[in-house]
Structure 1
Amino acid sequence: MSLLVLSACTHFEPRPLQPEAIAEQYDSLSLNDAELRAFLQAHAPKLAEPWPRPSWDLSALTLAAFHFNTDLQLARAQWETAVAAVAAAAMRPNPVVNLIPGYNVDAQSGTPRGIPGMSVDIPIETAGKRRIRISKTEHLAEAARLNFIGAAWQVRSELRSVLIELTAAQRRLTLLQEQLVIQQRVVDLLQQRFTLGAASAAELSPARVALTRLQVDLAESERQQNDARNNLARALGVPLHALAGASFAFVLDLVPVIDVAQSRRQALHYRADIAAGLAEYVASEADLQTEIAKQYPDLRLGPAYQWDQGESKWSLGIGLELPLNRNQGAIAQAEAQRAESAARFRALETSVIAQIDRASAAHRVAIDQVTRARALHEATENGIARQETRLRVGDIDQLEYQTAKLEAAVSAVAVLDSEAQAAQAAGKLEDALQQPLAEIDALGALHGRAK
């Protein structure tokens, strides 16, 4: 019997971690990875063709991050642990077999002195404790699932923010290079005038300072672009060299494609952290139910057998714990923990409401800034056309014309900066609302894996 029981047991298999192997695996990651392609084919087949992808947009990069990002892998592992806890909670307590050998020192001669015996201790849970325990772990597993979804949102949020930074840095670099050419032309024209005595050093010096400052800005823009690429690699969960040769297509979306008013109402019910908070509160209620149920003691049945000098003797013991203190201390603690969970949820909900309102207001301000910046840039662009006409008829000289072009170039950078800020504001509003997206829904297969 013992051999049969032991043969059915699960045996331990060591799985030691090897830091060197983990580092090698990380260094081998690539956006052309075959496993990534299989992941895309499973969750979004259209994004896997053609392969390798000639260009990566936000949707494709989001799923790539879901595949590579270790923070999301950790959240999924925590979810799977919580799911395993449900199965553990459903297990009934095992009976205990007790061997009770005895010895009769006063036995008559020729009579066996040994008194072999055994008893079985069978625990029986009462007051629905097992059902309550299962309910608690199920709600904690649901909270872990929702935390996994929240982690996916965080990954996508960081990825989108970094893509905005990278796109803005690339465009800013181009605009500053164009501005540098115009500024250099202005300096050259002033230098010619200064050489001929038609301009003073006081006129030339500010232009040279502006040129130097522009060169510094250009170098800073190059640094921001490099930093954005590093941040993109980190958000994806791949080494920087995995982005080598990759092209990224991203449009600065200034307005989220969602109904903000309707999504605000939905967010207070379906945001991952809100739903997880509700699940955790129900789990705290299950804790209180458990402590209340413990006022009713579990039964322990103890059938026993003894062979006493040729006579078989059977007995049945019934045991239970006397609840003299009615478990009042543990019940009071569980009630306090439920109240704490409720307070934590109220704080979370008010924080979410404030986050949505703050993000919505910031987005409106950012859009107004874009409108003003675009209007100013349009005015300077129209001014260039007029100045060009005046240049042809000789009303102005080349210096005045280049100065007008410089103003337009500066306003173009201002428009880009305001658009980047508006895109970030739109992203924060989307994060606050957690409007369901196709990329998040694509994690459905991963949901099934943990269930």
Structure 2
Amino acid sequence: MTTLPRTQRYRAARLLMAGAALFGGVCPAGAAPAAIALAPPAATSTQAPTLVSLDAAIDAAMTENIDVVSARNAVRTAAAGLRSADTFPNPVLSLGATSLRTGHVFPDAVSNMADDVARIDQPIERGGKRRARVGSARASLQAASSDVADTQRQVRADVVGAWTDLLAAEQRQALYDGIAASYRQSQLLAERRLQAGAISAGDLSRQRVEMLRAQSDLSRIASDRREAQLALAVLIGEEPHAATLQTIGGWQRPAVNADRDIDTIVSARPDVRAADERIAAARYAYEGARALRHPDISIGAQYEHGGNTPGSSIGFGFSVPLQVGNRYSGEIDSASVDRNQAEANAAKVRAVATAEIATARRAAEDASARRARYDDDLLPSARKAAATAEFAYARGAMALVDLLDARRTLLAIALAAIDAHADEAKARARQAAAETPEETQ
């Protein structure tokens, strides 16, 4: 291989080392893993970027997310149901006329045509129907409140995941921006080297192919970033500004205490509490169904003003339905099935929560270990090997195919390192969500 003059070798080394220096900015060894020293890419929209921190995204989701809003509306509905359940039956007022004198078409006075009757009846519930109805409604209200906390728990994890995906997409785009610029510089240098007879036309074509591939990958990464922006915007209610969203801050890894007892955590989770409250509501509903066998009575009082007969009178009475044909067996059996189903569902929710916590802990540990391997070993070694290859190629001591192989290896490891950081952040968020009790929502 022909060797360039000393001044050209120096210039070539400086240009080609730009590629290796670019990769060195990704997850630098010895630096805090919470940040990556890459300049944020410019917003893809012509509008000014909307900078969104993770905390701001979570706060926006807690007020704007449609799932959270729907859960809060369900609480209002349950509260209205409780007010409806805790009411006393309304009395019934009836007015009528009796003893109509059909034989007198033209009576002396209208008041002499009939006796006027005014009656009021008050239904009275028996068997504890109201107590059972109120107890079921109150338990349903508490379950709806726990549902809000559970929805917030899940939405918070979704927002962390979407925000992390956008951060990863931004860093991939920044990485490919630098790669494309480095390849353009390398292409210009290769053209000069071809004129000097230092490389072949085939080597120039190979470098051009690599440059075009980097530009194509950059277009694909830009599309991935737009999808990540839209996913985050939907969660935080910022769909009109999706194209301008840009993260601010580094990788987030929520601190969790993996030593806490799983059973204690499960009992405090909002989804488990909601399931337990629905058991209570179903049991009260079953009591209310059984109370239907205690017939309600109506007590009434009556005032009658005589028209055909002189004087007035009052009267009292009561009525009670006779349960001859219907003993409410269907209602009782249905309520019993609902109660059993609520108990089975609560057991399932508790089992799923236990498995979710155990799985989330293992996934978080594995993701942290994988991220540490990239930060501490793989990425530094790949950067060093790529820098050595760039230096050797600039001095004519390495073939182009070996240089390109070193670049591809570094690129693959740099991208995998970004994925490892994103996977760890999302795994930690899922663990934090799995272990979040209702009181902290």
| Shorter-chain TM-score above 0.5 | yes
Within 2, Cα distance between the matches of 1:330 and 1:203? 84
2:281 aligned to which of 280, 283, 295: 283
Q: Which residue of 2 aligns with 1:251?
A: 250
The residue correspondences of 1:22-421 to structure 2 (distance < 5 A) are: 56-105=52-101, 112-184=112-184, 207-241=207-241, 244=244, 248-253=247-252, 255-262=253-260, 264-308=262-306, 309-324=309-324, 325-374=326-375, 375-383=377-385, 396=397, 404=406, 407-421=409-423
Q: Which of the numbers 429, 432, 435 marks the counterpart of 1:430?
A: 432
Percent of residue pairs identical: 24
Residues 231-264 of structure 1: per-residue CA shift (max 9 Å, x gap): 22221112433774x66323223x4311134274
Offset at 1:218? 0.8
The question of whether the paired residues in 1 share the 8 Å contact of 2:268 and 2:438 is answered with: no
Q: Report the alpha carbon displacement of residue 136 of structure 1 after superposing the two structures with TM.
A: 0.9
Unmatched 5+ stretches in structure 1: 1-52, 441-451
Equivalent residue for 2:17? none
Q: CA deviation at 1:348?
A: 2.3
In 2, Cα distance between equivalents of 1:404 and 1:220: 23
Classify 1:103/1:341 alpha carbon distance in 2 versus 1 (closer, same or farther; 3 Å). Answer: same
Question: How far apart, in 1, do the equivalents of 2:243 and 2:218 lie?
Answer: 23
Query: How far apart in 2 are the matches of 1:100 and 1:390?
Result: 111
SS of the equivalent of 2:238 reads coil
Amino acid of the structure 2 residue aligned with 1:424: K
Aligned equivalents of 1:177, 1:414: Cα separation in 2:
17
AA matched with 1:377: L
Structure of higher CA gyration radius: 2
One-letter amino acid of the structure 2 residue matched with residue 343 of structure 1:
A
Q: Counterpart of 1:92 in 2: which secondary structure?
A: coil
- Cα contact 1:263–1:433 (8 A) shared by 2: no
CA contact (8 A) 1:390 1:396 kept: yes
TM-score (norm 2): 0.76
Are the structure 2 counterparts of residues 408 and 107 from structure 1 closer, same or farther at C-alpha, using a change threshold of 3 Å? closer
**In structure 2, how many angstroms separate the alpha carbons of the residues matched to 1:274 and 1:141?**
15
SS at 1:117 equivalent: strand
Tell me the CA shift for residue 286 of structure 1: 1.0
Q: CA RMSD in A?
A: 3.5
- Separation (CA, whole Å) in 1 of partners of 2:50 and 2:173: 23
How has the CA–CA distance of structure 1 residues 189 and 397 changed in structure 2, closer, same or farther, with 3 Å as cutoff?
farther
Task: Please say if residues 263 and 435 of structure 1, whose CA atoms lie closer than 8 Å, have aligned partners that are also in contact.
Answer: no
Q: Deviations over 1:95-154 (max 9, x none)?
A: 001112112549999994521112211111112211111111111111221222223233
SS at match of 1:296: coil
Conserved? CA contact 1:182–1:405, under 8 Å: no
Looking at structure 2, the residues matched to 384 and 312 of structure 1 have their Cα atoms a distance apart, in angstroms, of 112
What is the match of residue 28 of structure 1? none
SS of structure 2 residue aligned to 1:116: strand
CA drift at 1:304? 1.6
Cα distance in 2, alignment partners of residues 251 and 437 from structure 1: 28
Instruction: Using the TM superposition, give the Cα deviation of residue 331 of structure 1 relative to its aligned residue in structure 2, in angstroms.
Output: 0.9
State how far apart, in whole Å, the 2-side matches of 1:163 and 1:352 are: 25
Q: Which moved more, 1:89-98 or 1:345-354?
A: 345-354
Q: Distance in 2 between matches of 1:241 and 1:134?
A: 46
Matches of 2:113 and 2:287 in 1, distance apart? 52
Q: How far does the alpha carbon of each residue in 1:305-361 deviate from its partner, in whole angstroms, 9 at most, with x for none?
A: 223312332222111122344322211111111112222222222222333333333
- Cα distance in 2 for partners of 1:268, 1:146 equals 14
Q: Do the aligned partners of 2:360 and 2:430 also contact (CA within 8 Å) in 1?
A: yes
The structural deviation recorded for 1:420 is 1.2
* Equivalent residue letter for 1:236: I
- Point out which structure has higher relative CO (alpha carbons under 8 A, 6+ apart): 2
Classify 1:205/1:426 alpha carbon distance in 2 versus 1 (closer, same or farther; 3 Å): farther
Q: Secondary structure at 1:101's aligned position in 2? A: strand
In structure 2, C-alpha distance between the alignment counterparts of 1:157 and 1:65, rounded to whole Å: 11
**Rounded Cα–Cα distance in structure 2 between residues aligned with 1:247 and 1:295:** 64
Question: 8 Å contact 2:263–2:354 — kept in the other structure?
Answer: no
Q: Please state whether the residue corresponding to 1:322 is helix, strand or coil.
A: coil
1:268 Cα deviation from its structure 2 partner? 1.6
User: How far does the alpha carbon of each residue in 1:207-239 deviate from its partner, in whole angstroms, 9 at most, with x for none?
Assistant: 444333322211111112222222222211124
CA distance in 2, matches of 1:404, 1:372: 19
C-alpha displacement of 1:291? 0.8
Contact kept? 1:159, 1:232, Cα under 8 Å: yes
Cα distance in 1 for partners of 2:264, 2:228 equals: 33
Q: What's the CA shift string for 1:156-215, capped at 9, x where partnerless?
A: 233222211111111111112222344445556666666677666766655444333322
Deviation at 1:384, TM superposition (A): 5.3
Q: Answer with 398-407 or 263-272: which moved more.
A: 398-407
CA distance, structure 1, for counterparts of residue 80 and residue 371 of structure 2: 51
